[in-house]
Amino acid sequence: MIESLSHITFIVSDLERTSRLFVEELGATQIYNSGDEHFSHSAEMFFKLGGLWIAIMEGDPLKERSYNHTAFYVEDCLLDQYRARLQQLGATVLPDRKRVKGEGRSIYFYDYDNHLFELHSGTLEQRLKSYANS
């Protein structure tokens, strides 16, 4: 039986650049860097972010963007700070999308390798309640 999410791996073209995004902008803690040793397919780094194990592995980036994304919970009062920092870093921050009142706010942005991330201030319970009231 599946008990929880183990980890998420993203294939990236530049480990150091993506590491800066995770550590400096999103607040992750780097916990491993394979350096010249390759125990898996290629060089890799591990991070802890919000209790999650995030891995990045060097390789060919996604060829195109899609709406497939990974979302992280962030307190609403911090969203504007994150938006400003991501824009300063040069991440592609998308315009806000129309939302149902009460479901929370989001920032969507692409990293350097076409991965879409969301910083979201709502919870599942809030979203279900807002949908039921619409």
Catalytic residues: 44
Half-sphere exposure of 74 (CA within 13 A, CB side): 23
3-state helix, strand, coil split of the chain in percent (to 5) is 25, 30, 45
The β-bridge partners of 49 are 52
Measured in Å, how far apart are the chain's first and last C-alpha atoms?
Answer: 35
Extract the tokens encoding 32. Answer: 């491993």
